[in-house]
Amino acid sequence: MRAENISRNQVLQIRTNMTAAQVLGKLKRISTEEFYDAKNNPEYTYYGTITNKMFHLCNKKYGPYSSGPWIKGEVSESDNKTIVNLEADIEEQMDLSTKILYPVFIVFGVLAMAAGLMVPENRQMYAFVAVGLFVSPFAYNIVARRLLKSMQRDEVKQFEKLIGGWQVKYSSPGLEQPQHQGVTPGKN
């Protein structure tokens, strides 16, 4: 499976020929903890935190208040193989927009309907406004989900190139893990 299918609680495993120390060293060289440092310095690609063998990074093209996907990961090494377990979750942003948009637009839709009942000469206009307010958050979520999935896919591809890796496994907790489903180096 490819990165475009990542969803909540699913982990993408990327194998690389670099050692765990090399992967973490490279991430430390191209990331900083502060967004504004990353934005003002072309040497940095990501901002976020790297601790021990774990990282939580976001591309600097997405600001701290944007809905750009964060890449959470852990680097492990065994049998001369380095595996980076990635999670690029977009559901967090979708949950936030749902919690904010739905109540606000539904309240305004109800207010528009109530106003339409009180003003008989503009009843049809208020009905159209109310319907538009009810439909808006649903339409927004459809468009936002597609946009976030595209951003997520692009970020995972960029991360793979950055560490010279390729996808080897894609799993979800509690499910049987599929065998090699990724692409091998040189066959992208």
Chunk the chain into consecutive blocks of 10 residues (it has 188) and report each block's average pLDDT, rounded to whole numbers: 46 87 91 91 92 91 83 86 84 80 86 82 82 87 88 87 78 40 41
Residues 39 and 14 in one domain: yes
pLDDT at 9: 52
Contact partners, residue 146, CB within 8 Å, separation at least 6: none
pLDDT (0 to 100) of residue 130: 85
63 with 28, same domain: the answer is yes
84 with 97, same domain: the answer is no
Domain residues for the domain of 129 are: 93-141
| Residue 185, domain member (yes or no) | no
Mark whether 85 and 99 lie in a shared domain: no
Return the residue matching tokens 């799993």. 171
| Same domain as 23, residue 70 | yes
Same domain, 166 and 79: yes
Same domain assignment for residues 104 and 84: no
36 and 119 co-located in one domain:
no
What pLDDT, on a 0 to 100 scale, did the predictor assign at position 35?
A: 92
Same domain, residue pair 17 and 82: yes
The strand pairing partners of 82, in sequence order, are 16, 77
Which pLDDT score is estimated for 141? 87
pLDDT at position 11 is 77
Whether the model clears a pTM of 0.75, i.e. scores above it, the answer is no
Could you tell me if 85 and 167 lie in one domain? yes
Number of domains, the chain: 2
Q: What angle do CA 87, 168, 148 make, to 5 degrees?
A: 35
Q: Are residues 30 and 75 in the same domain?
A: yes
Whose tokens are 């065994």? That residue is: 78
**Amino acid 171: pLDDT:** 54
